[in-house]
Amino acid sequence: MTKSELIELISRKQTQLSHNDVELAVNHIVDAMISAMATGDRIEIRGFGSFSLHHRQARLGRNPKTGETVALPEKRVPHFKPGKELRERVDESKFHADILC
């Protein structure tokens, strides 16, 4: 699902809100999450999961095309850990899909 598909889905379900209002709300939520992670904060959405930053040390890598050794700098990368409710609902939906096939 893309962000525009999410906005469309919410707009259809919440008819009292205009499409522009939903788009603005979703954009604000995403921007707030990006800002929080950029400052090193952890984001936790109960029942869904948590977003945190993992630190990767500097290392030597290889250019797959030339085989040349390349120095890769250290960096912070986003990490998502799904919550228990999300894992259970996804697993349950797979079980129901298997029954229907």
Residues 88 and 59 in one domain: yes
Q: Residue 95 has what pLDDT? A: 62
pLDDT band at 97 (very low <50, low <70, confident <90, very high): low
Q: Quote the CA–CA distance of 77 and 26 in Å, as a whole number.
A: 23
Q: Is pLDDT above 90 for 99?
A: no
User: Is the domain of 19 the same as that of 55?
Assistant: no
Does residue 91 share a domain with residue 66? yes
Same structural domain, 36 and 49: no
78 lies in which domain range?
45-100
Record the pTM.
0.76
- Say whether both 51 and 84 belong to one domain: yes
Cβ(40)–Cβ(48) below 8 Å:
no
Say yes or no: 35 and 51 in one domain: no
Q: Tokens standing for 2?
A: 């893309």
Work out the end-to-end distance of the chain between its first and last CA atoms, rounded to an integer number of angstroms.
Answer: 23
Task: Work out how many domains the chain is built from and give that number.
Answer: 2
Claim to verify: residue 52 and residue 32 sit in the same structural domain: no
- The answer to whether the CB of 38 falls within 8 A of the CB of 75 is no
